[in-house]
C-alpha cells in the first residue's frame, strides 16, 4: 500500500526564494545592520501587517514570547505584579511573565470549553493583578470582549497565535477591546516566518514605547516610514527584533495566506460535514475561525477509555502516515516548567502546582489535527475521516500518491533508449509517472511510440537543439544545460533521472519513495549494479572511472575499505559521504536519485566548469552532490541496488576506459 503524503508546512516556493534572495542582496540583515538608509524589509512587513490586520500599528518581534514580554513591559507590569493566564496553554506564556519579574496565576478551564473559567478568574483577582493574558486556543475563540467588560480595570493582552491575522474578525465578533494583541509567527503557526512575533496596538504613544523597548532604547524618527531612521527613545530597551531575512519571508507568506485559508476553509467544511452525525468523534471549533480558514489545529476527541485511546491514536498515525499534536499539559504540571532552576524567577519558586481538573479532563482522549492537513485533497480528507471513524477500512488509492517525473536524456542511443524506457514502464509504483524524453538534437524519438503504456504513465517528447555555442563546450556543460531545461518542464512532485543506456529494477521508484517517507527527507538514492555494454555483470578489479588525481588501483583499495566496492559483487554501494583520510570520495550517479521537486528551486545544475575540473572529469552529478552537502540537505540511501548501470553512455561515455 502506498503511504499517504500530506502537505508540508510552511509552503515554500520560488516566490519565497525571490523574497529572501532580495533581502540578502539588499544587504540589511538586521534593524541597524546597514547605515546607508536602504529599504528595510522589517518596516515593509510591518506596514503590510497593519493592512492585513486592519490595525493602527503592527510591531514585529523576535518571537511570540518577546511580543508578550514587550506587551507587559509597555503596560508597566513588573516585579511582584500578578498576571492571570490559563493553565492550559504553551509554557512560553508563563515564561514571559517570569521574565518581567511578575507572578503567573494559573486558571483552570471552563467545564464547557477549553478556555479559562471566568468565575475562577474572579476568585483569583487581587490588588496585585495587573493583566490577564487571553489566548485563543486551537480552533476556538475566547470571549475577550466579555473579559474586558467583566474586568474593566485590568489590562487584557489577547494572544491570537492560534488565529494569526484574524484581528478584524475578532473585533467584529467579540467586540474586542483588548489593550494589546500579540501573536506568534513560529514555524507551526498558520502564518509563519520561521520564528517571529507581532504586537498590534491602537495608540501611537504606546507603539513608540514598545519600539523603544524592542530596539535597544531606540525608536523610529517616522513611525510610518519604510526606511529605518532610528533615534534615541524614551525607554530602556533590549534587542528583541525580527531579522530582515525573516521579515522578507513573512512578506512571502502574507501573499499566500488568503489562498491557503480558502483551501483550509473548504477542507474543514467537508470534515465537519462528515463528522457531524458521528457520535464516535467529537471535534471542537469556533465557526468564526473555520469559516475563515485561519485556525491552528482541530481538537478531536475519541469517545473511549484511555488505554483504548492510546492504541487507536497510534494506529491512526501509522495508517495515515502523520503525527497528531498533543494538547497542552497544564503548565504547572508540565516537565518544561522549571522556574526553581533560575534564580531571577524566585518569586514563583514556592508556588504549588495546583489542581486543574477541567483542564486534565479536556485533554483526556484528545489529539490535535494540524492545520496543514486541511490543505489536502478532498479524497485525503475523506480518508482521514474514514480512518478516524473506523466505519470502513481505509484504502489509499493510486490517485492519492504523489507523482514522479522521470527525465530521460538521449543522444545517439536509439536501441538502448527503448530498453531504458521499458524499465520505467515496468515499475511497480502505482502513482502517476510522467516520462519526459529529452532528445539532444535527435531524429529517433518516435521509436518509443509503439510501446504499450500502463494507465498511470504518460510520455512527453521534447527534441532540443542547443545553440552552436555548446558545440565547442565539454559534454558536461551540455548535459547540465539539458537537465536544467528539463526540470522546468516537470509537472509532478518528485523527480528522477535516467540516462538512455541505463535501466531500473521494477521496484526502483517505489523503494526510493519508501526511503524518502521513512527518513522524512527531500532526496534519496539507490545503490547500483554494474554491467558492461554487452549486458554482462561487471565485477571491477579496479576502479573503472578515470579522471581523478589518484590511480584507479588506489581508488579501488579506498572504495573497498569504505565498503562501496565488493571484489566479489557487481553492486556499488554508493554513500552520501565516503570519508577516507579526511577526503570525501562520494560519487552518486544521477540515475540513482529521487528528489522532491522543490530542491531545484534552490539548486540548479552548474553549466560552467574550469579547465582543471574538465581535466579531472568533474561531472554535473559530482557538483550537485557537493551542493546538497553544502546546503545541509538530509539525504538517505534506499540501500537497494535498483539502478542497472551500463558502463559507457550519453552523459558518461567520455570518461570511461574499460
| pLDDT for position 464 | 87
- 368 is a domain residue: yes
Q: How much of the chain exceeds pLDDT 90, in percent?
A: 62
Q: Which tens digit of pLDDT belongs to each residue from 342-371?
A: 988 877 666 778 899 999 999 999 999 999
154 touches 144 (CB < 8 A): no
Q: Is residue 52 part of a domain?
A: yes
> Which among 237, 240, 193 has a CA at the least distance from the CA of 48?
193
- pLDDT score, position 602: 86
Q: Give the burial class of 497: count Cβ atoms within 10 A of its Cβ; 0-12 exposed, 13-18 middle, 19 or more buried.
A: buried
Higher-pLDDT residue of 585, 169:
585
> 343-347, 367-371, 571-575, 590-594: lowest mean pLDDT where?
343-347
Q: How far apart are CA 175 and CA 538, in angstroms?
A: 77
Residue 13 lies in a domain: no
pLDDT in tens, 82-109: 999 999 999 999 999 999 999 999 999 9
Same domain assignment for residues 285 and 342: yes
DSSP 434: E
More confident of the two residues 170 and 79:
79
Q: Is 502 left (phi over 0), alpha (psi -120 to 50) or beta?
A: beta
Instruction: List Cα–Cα distances, 636 to 4, 213, 437, 574, in angstroms.
Output: 20, 46, 27, 11
Residue ending a domain, among 224, 254, 284, is 254
Mean pLDDT, rounded, for 476-492:
92
Q: What CA–CA distance (Å, rounded) separates 496 from 435?
A: 9
Find out whether 438 and 479 touch, Cβ atoms under 8 Å: no
Give the mean pLDDT of 255-278: 90
Residue 8 lies in a domain: no
Distance, in Å, from the CA atom of 628 to the CA atom of 599, rounded to the nearest integer, reads: 9
Distances from the Cα of 624 to the Cαs of 217, 252, 586, 648, in angstroms?
Answer: 47, 27, 12, 21
pLDDT band at 576 (very low <50, low <70, confident <90, very high): very high
C-alpha span between 133 and 121 (Å, rounded): 11
Q: 376 with 463, same domain?
A: no
d(CA 393, CA 1): 13
Per the listing, cell 526511503 goes with 515
CATH of the domain at 301: 3.90.1150.10
Residues 71 and 174 in one domain: yes
Angle between helices 378-389 and 244-275 (to 10 degrees): 60
Helix axis angle for 204-214 and 64-74, nearest 10°, is: 120
In a domain, 27, yes or no: no
- Other beta carbons within 10 Å of 395: 9
% helix / strand / coil in the chain, to the nearest 5?
A: 40, 20, 40
Q: Work out the mean pLDDT of the chain and round it to a whole number.
A: 88
Cβ-proximal residues to 489 (8 Å cutoff; 6+ apart), any chain:
436, 460, 462
Among 2-16, 236-250, 381-395, 585-599, the minimum mean pLDDT is found in 381-395
Structural domain range at position 161: 39-254
> How would you class 658 by CB atoms within 10 Å of its CB: exposed for 0-12, middle for 13-18, buried for 19 or more?
exposed
Residues 508/644, Cβ–Cβ less than 8 Å: no
Q: Helix (H, G, I), strand (E, B), or coil: what is residue 297? A: strand
Phi then psi for residue 76, to 5 deg, are 60, 35
Based on the fold, state whether residues 357 and 452 are members of the same structural domain: no
pLDDT at 555: 87
pLDDT at 219: 82
Which region among 97-111, 309-323, 588-602, 607-621 has the lowest average model confidence (pLDDT)? 607-621
Domain stops at, among 340, 360, 394: 394
User: Do the domain assignments include residue 414?
Assistant: yes
Q: Which of 9-18, 21-30, 363-372 has the lowest mean pLDDT?
A: 21-30
Side-chain-facing half-sphere of 197: CA atoms under 13 Å: 23
Model confidence at 627: pLDDT above 50: yes
Domain count, the chain: 3
Question: Are 365 and 442 found together in one domain?
Answer: no
Q: Tally the C-alpha atoms within 13 A of residue 235's C-alpha that lie toward its C-beta.
A: 21
Residues 417 and 554 placed together within one structural domain of the fold: yes
Domain of 45: which CATH number? 3.40.640.10
For residue 589, pLDDT over 50 is answered with: yes
How confident is the model at residue 224, as a pLDDT?
A: 61
Residues 380 and 498 in one domain: no
Q: What is the DSSP letter of 284?
A: -
Shortest CA distance to 121 belongs to which of 142, 106, 137, 141?
Answer: 106
- Do residue 388 and residue 465 come from a single domain? no
The CATH number for 578's domain is 3.90.550.10
Is 325 found in the same domain as 246? no
Which cell goes with 206?
504606546
Res. 506: pLDDT tops 80 = yes
pLDDT tens for 172-230 read 344 457 899 999 999 999 999 999 999 999 999 999 999 999 998 988 766 665 555 67
Q: What digits encode the pLDDT tens for the residues 232-258?
A: 889 999 999 999 999 999 999 999 999
The predicted pLDDT at position 297 comes to 94
Least confident of 207-211, 278-282, 460-464, 491-495: 278-282
Check whether residue 609 and residue 461 sit in a common domain: yes
Q: Within 13 Å and on the Cβ side, how many CA atoms surround 508?
A: 32
Final residue belonging to a domain, choices 230, 254, 278: 254
Interval 389-448: pLDDT, tens: 866 544 443 333 579 999 999 988 888 899 999 999 999 998 999 999 999 988 899 999
Residue 20 inside a domain? The answer is no
Does residue 7 belong to any structural domain of this protein?
no
Cα(255)–Cα(193) distance, rounded to whole angstroms?
A: 12
Nearest-CA neighbor of 540 among 561, 562, 563, 571? 571
Q: Choose among 208, 199, 95, 209: nearest CA to 157.
A: 199
Question: Are residue 627 and residue 574 in the same domain, yes or no?
Answer: yes
Contact 234, 43 (CB under 8 A): no
What is the band of 655 on the pLDDT scale with cuts at 50, 70, 90?
very low
Q: Say if residue 186 is in the same domain as residue 319.
A: no
What's residue 469's pLDDT? Answer: 67
| Total-model pTM | 0.75
pLDDT tens string 29-64:
877 666 555 678 898 999 999 999 988 999 999 999
Amino acid at each position: 500500500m502506498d503511504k499517504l503524503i500530506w502537505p508540508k508546512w510552511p509552503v515554500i516556493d520560488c516566490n519565497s526564494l525571490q523574497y529572501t534572495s532580495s533581502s540578502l542582496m539588499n544587504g540589511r540583515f538586521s534593524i541597524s545592520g546597514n547605515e546607508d538608509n536602504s529599504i528595510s524589509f522589517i518596516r515593509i512587513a510591518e506596514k503590510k501587517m497593519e493592512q492585513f490586520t486592519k490595525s493602527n500599528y503592527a510591531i514585529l518581534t523576535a518571537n511570540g514570547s518577546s511580543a508578550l514580554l514587550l506587551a507587559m513591559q509597555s503596560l508597566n507590569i513588573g516585579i511582584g505584579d500578578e498576571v492571570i493566564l490559563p493553565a492550559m496553554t504553551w509554557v512560553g506564556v508563563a515564561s514571559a511573565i517570569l521574565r518581567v519579574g511578575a507572578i503567573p496565576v494559573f486558571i483552570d478551564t471552563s467545564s464547557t470549553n477549553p478556555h479559562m473559567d471566568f468565575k475562577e478568574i474572579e476568585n483569583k483577582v487581587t490588588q496585585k493583578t495587573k493583566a490577564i493574558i487571553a489566548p485563543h486556543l486551537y480552533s476556538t475563540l475566547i470571549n475577550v470582549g466579555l473579559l474586558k467588560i467583566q474586568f474593566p480595570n485590568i489590562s487584557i493582552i489577547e494572544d491570537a497565535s492560534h488565529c494569526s491575522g484574524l484581528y478584524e474578525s475578532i473585533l467584529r465578533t467579540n467586540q474586542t477591546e483588548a489593550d494589546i494583541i500579540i501573536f506568534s509567527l513560529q514555524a507551526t503557526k498558520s502564518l509563519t516566518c520561521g520564528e517571529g512575533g507581532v504586537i498590534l496596538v491602537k495608540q501611537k504613544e504606546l507603539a513608540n514605547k514598545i519600539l523603544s523597548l524592542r530596539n535597544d532604547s531606540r525608536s523610529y524618527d517616522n513611525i510610518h516610514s519604510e526606511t529605518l531612521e532610528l533615534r534615541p527613545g524614551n525607554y530602556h530597551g533590549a534587542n528583541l527584533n525580527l531579522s530582515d531575512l525573516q521579515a522578507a519571508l513573512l512578506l512571502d507568506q502574507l501573499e499566500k495566506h488568503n489562498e491557503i485559508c480558502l483551501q483550509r476553509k473548504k477542507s474543514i467544511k467537508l470534515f465537519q460535514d462528515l463528522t457531524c452525525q458521528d457520535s464516535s468523534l467529537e471535534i471542537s471549533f469556533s465557526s468564526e475561525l473555520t469559516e475563515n480558514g485561519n485556525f491552528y489545529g482541530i481538537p478531536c476527541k475519541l469517545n473511549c477509555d484511555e488505554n483504548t485511546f492510546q492504541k487507536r491514536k497510534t494506529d491512526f498515525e501509522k495508517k495515515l502516515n502523520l503525527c497528531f499534536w498533543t494538547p497542552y499539559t497544564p503548565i504547572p504540571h508540565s516537565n518544561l516548567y522549571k522556574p526553581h532552576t533560575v534564580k531571577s524567577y524566585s518569586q514563583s519558586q514556592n508556588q504549588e502546582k495546583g489542581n486543574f481538573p477541567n483542564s486534565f479532563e479536556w485533554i483526556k482522549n484528545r489529539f490535535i489535527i494540524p492545520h496543514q492537513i486541511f490543505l489536502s485533497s478532498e479524497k485525503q480528507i475523506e480518508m482521514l475521516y474514514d480512518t478516524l471513524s473506523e466505519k470502513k477500512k481505509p484504502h489509499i488509492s493510486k490517485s492519492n500518491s504523489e507523482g514522479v517525473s522521470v527525465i530521460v536524456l538521449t543522444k545517439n542511443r536509439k536501441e538502448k533508449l527503448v530498453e531504458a524506457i521499458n524499465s520505467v514502464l515496468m515499475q511497480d509504483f502505482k502513482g502517476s509517472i510522467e516520462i519526459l524524453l529529452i532528445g539532444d538534437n535527435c531524429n529517433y524519438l518516435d521509436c518509443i511510440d509503439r510501446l504499450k503504456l500502463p494507465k498511470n504513465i504518460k510520455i512527453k517528447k521534447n527534441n532540443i537543439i542547443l545553440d552552436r555555442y555548446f558545440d565547442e563546450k565539454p559534454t558536461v556543460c551540455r548535459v547540465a544545460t539539458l537537465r536544467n531545461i528539463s526540470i522546468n518542464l516537470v509537472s509532478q512532485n518528485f523527480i528522477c533521472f535516467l540516462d538512455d543506456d541505463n535501466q531500473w529494477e521494477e521496484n526502483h521508484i517505489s523503494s526510493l519513495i519508501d526511503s524518502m517517507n521513512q527518513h522524512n527527507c527531500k532526496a534519496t538514492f539507490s545503490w547500483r549494479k554494474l554491467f558492461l555494454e554487452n549486458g554482462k555483470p561487471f565485477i571491477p578489479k579496479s576502479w573503472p572511472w578515470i579522471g581523478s588525481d589518484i590511480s584507479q588501483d588506489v581508488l579501488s583499495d579506498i572504495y573497498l575499505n569504505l565498503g562501496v566496492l565488493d571484489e566479489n559483487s557487481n553492486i556499488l554501494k554508493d554513500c552520501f559521504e565516503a570519508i577516507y583520510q579526511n577526503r570525501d570520495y562520494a560519487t552518486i550517479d544521477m540515475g540513482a536519485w529521487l528528489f522532491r521537486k522543490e530542491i531545484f528551486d534552490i539548486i540548479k545544475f552548474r553549466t560552467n566548469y574550469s579547465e582543471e575540473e574538465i581535466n579531472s572529469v568533474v561531472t554535473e552529478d559530482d557538483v550537485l552532490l557537493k551542493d546538497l552537502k553544502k546546503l545541509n540537505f538530509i539525504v538517505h540511501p534506499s540501500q537497494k541496488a535498483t539502478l542497472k548501470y551500463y558502463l559507457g553512455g550519453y552523459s558518461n561515455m567520455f570518461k570511461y576506459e574499460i
